Amino acid sequence: MATVISHSLFTDFDIDLFKSGKHFRLYEKLGAHIISVDGVDGVYFAVWAPTAKSVSVVGDFNFWTFGEHQLEVRWDSSGIWEGFIPDVTKGSTYKYNIQSNNGGIITEKADPFAFYCEKPPHTASVVWGLDYQWKDSKWMKTRQDFNGLNKPFSVYEVHLGSWKRHIEGNKFLTYLEYAEDLVNYIKETGFTHVEFMPIMEYPYDPSWGYQLVGYFAPTSRFGNPQEFMFLVDKLHGANIGVILDWVPSHFPDDAHGLGFFDGSNLFEHPDRRKGYHPDWKSLVFNYGRNEVRSFLISNALFWLDYYHADALRVDAVASMLYLDYSRNEGEWEPNIYGGRENLDTISFLKEFNEAVYSNFEGVQTIAEESTSFPLVSRPTSIGGLGFGMKWMMGWMHDTLEYFQKETVYRKYHQNDLTFSMTYMFSENFMLPLSHDEVVYGKKSIVDRMPGDEWQKFANLRLLYGYMFMHPGTKLLFMGCEFGQTKEWNFEESLDWHLLKYPAHNGIKKLITDLNYLYKNQPALYEKQFSAEGFEWINYSDHQNAVIAFIRKGINVKEDVIVVCNFTQVVRENYRIGIPRKGKLIEIFNTDAIFYGGSGVSNSKKMIVEAVPYDGRDYSIEMILAPLSVSVFRIK
């Protein structure tokens, strides 16, 4: 048997933290670490496999021979197997060969803590280091100025495998190529943040990355870990925040993955009613097991620590919160109080958020949560889950449902638009138009719009204008910013050729200017999560399908007035109430010719009149362009 030297990176305190579910930097201990022991270079391996009978490391350095390099189990009942193997070097491929006590089952598993993985469809882990010379110190010191809840937060959601591909061979771009093309594009269009759909290693492309195996490894499809760090570095250098999709909700049962890891239900809940997800045919973490909690929270902190992520968007939170999620009667068991809430999950999410916010300054966590579960984005100190923001799925559903209707019928559905304001400030909401809305037969966003081609694009401009003026932060999936006409296909590039057509190029110009408007009008972000930042002027003119409201910031002189016309009828001499005297100046109009509109606008300064209207002492008449959003300032 080849030499395995007894060695440990764990202290007794580490083990106590691990067992109690409080060790949140396990990535410094478990996994494969390139070190020197007594002047000899090699790799220290450590893996958690408490029901294993034996664990050996197999790899290209021992011709994948079982038993050649056997690890030792620790004496402290932690279930950790460890050992130092001399002369193993960076780039070596390996797996853990695990013989279980449960019936002698032998499996080969990838390292749950591997920093790098072979390029799929290969499944081995790769010995790798995380050394990198970061150049984003200025960003890291000041990112609260870009990442705070009272700052503009406009997110460009990206699937790296299909944003753009090489024409020849339909090949992926690399992280280094994205560091040029993607960074420049986001900077040009003015988004404040990019959100990457999961970049952690995943085996199956059609999962879009939401079925993870390598939780600590950026996918090797596009390059190595340092090259992904370089991409993040370049984004920070352009003052663009980085949000990573994080998936603690479930994982696939691939043979080399976390499922049945050591011959037992190690990571997944042993009760299939809690440990199996019927929608995705995947396994669900055991959130009540201390060591699993340490694994997951360590993983969250890892991406904030080593990859300088600015936010984590947590996927499928609703599926985690409810014991009966996608389950029929008899397929789930109530909690100890007879309810449907998963108490272990609630406790875990609170601890996760507390760990994130207490360990890193200027970061955010964002929940994709589609139910009315209370206090998702409220502090744990008052009983909340502790997230910084929550996706506003109700707004997304109601708004798209409204916009799909022919304009002649919209007067009967005004409530679909105005209802969001009844609960808008119950959470810190982000308004998403995400990848889920442009797949599986839902059509692209522009293709959902009614009318002829001009009306479709006018409706799209209206939708985006309304979205950016509505309280809350914003998220837009790639391709939507130039009106991609077909559904998203993860196997090919976006249709960039469409930008040569005026209608599509006009949408891109519109989004660019909306981002600029959002960032440069404090009233649109300073109080975006507070009822003090919004005031209706008129929401009851359903007959004309018009709404008008005020967005308010700290300085009343910087307030903006927003008027939306949801039909193609030009409305002349349309009167609205105004809060004070002055001159009204139109600062933005989605119907501008520059964007592909008809050019109807209020081009001159309009004098506010002392004519009572809409319950106010002052009012003004204006012209409303067809299918448009007009934005005004009072001077």
pLDDT digits (tens, 9 = 90+) for 569-599: 999 999 999 999 999 999 999 999 999 999 9
What is the structure's pLDDT at 106? 85
Specify the DSSP class assigned to residue 394.
H
Report d(CA 127, CA 213) in Å as an integer.
16
Please check whether residue 262 is in contact with residue 52, taking contact to mean a CB–CB distance below 8 angstroms.
yes
SS3 at position 119: coil
What is the structure's pLDDT at 101? 87
Q: Residue 45 is which amino acid?
A: F
Structure tokens at 392: 């506003």
Q: Is 368 a catalytic residue?
A: yes
Report d(CA 618, CA 610) in Å as an integer.
5
The active-site residue, picked from 68, 310, 315, 416, is 315
Average pLDDT, the chain: 96
Q: Is 315 a catalytic residue?
A: yes
Q: How many CA atoms lie within 13 A of 551 on its CB side?
A: 25
Q: What is the pTM of this model?
A: 0.96
Report d(CA 443, CA 480) in Å as an integer.
12
What lies within 8 Å, CB to CB, of 297 at 6+ separation is: 24, 351, 352, 355
What is the structure's pLDDT at 103? 73
pLDDT digits (tens, 9 = 90+) for 376-402: 999 999 999 999 999 999 999 999 999
Report d(CA 578, CA 535) in Å as an integer.
11
> Please, what is the Cα angle at 427 between 421 and 431, to 5 degrees?
65
Interval 49-63 mean pLDDT:
96
pLDDT band at 538 (very low <50, low <70, confident <90, very high): very high
Going by C-alpha positions, the residue among 344, 357, 423, 345 that lies closest to residue 386 is 357
Report d(CA 99, CA 27) in Å as an integer.
24
Report d(CA 37, CA 573) in Å as an integer.
83
Residue 296's CB is within 10 A of a number of other CB atoms, namely 22
Q: Is 187 exposed, middle or buried (0-12, 13-18, 19+ CB in 10 A)?
A: middle
What is the structure's pLDDT at 102? 78
The yes-or-no verdict on residue 605 having pLDDT over 90 is no
What is the structure's pLDDT at 154? 98
The yes-or-no verdict on residue 1 having pLDDT over 60 is no
Q: CA–CA distance from 6 to each of 72, 82, 85, 132, 319 (Å)?
A: 8, 8, 9, 29, 43
Walk me through the domains of the chain, giving residue ranges and CATH numbers. 12-126 (2.60.40.10), 155-255+262-360+383-391 (3.20.20.80), 532-634 (2.60.40.1180)
pLDDT digits (tens, 9 = 90+) for 248-291: 999 999 999 999 999 999 999 999 999 999 989 999 999 999 99
The active-site residue, picked from 14, 310, 351, 368, is 368
What lies within 8 Å, CB to CB, of 52 at 6+ separation is: 73, 79, 81, 98, 99, 100, 101, 262, 263
Report d(CA 506, CA 117) in Å as an integer.
42
Share of the chain above pLDDT 90, in %: 96
Question: Dihedrals φ, ψ of 628, to 5°?
Answer: -145, 160
pLDDT digits (tens, 9 = 90+) for 198-233: 999 999 999 999 999 999 999 999 999 999 999 999
Question: Dihedrals φ, ψ of 527, to 5°?
Answer: -125, 40
What is the structure's pLDDT at 456? 97
What is the structure's pLDDT at 228? 98
For tokens 């744990």, name the residue.
380
Going by C-alpha positions, the residue among 405, 489, 399 that lies closest to residue 439 is 489
What is the structure's pLDDT at 604? 80
The yes-or-no verdict on residue 623 having pLDDT over 60 is yes
Share of the chain above pLDDT 70, in %: 100
Going by C-alpha positions, the residue among 49, 82, 148, 621 that lies closest to residue 389 is 148
Looking at the DSSP assignment, which residues form a beta bridge with residue 106?
A: 99
pLDDT digits (tens, 9 = 90+) for 407-423: 999 999 999 999 999 99
pLDDT digits (tens, 9 = 90+) for 507-516: 999 999 999 9
Q: Residue 485 is which amino acid?
A: T
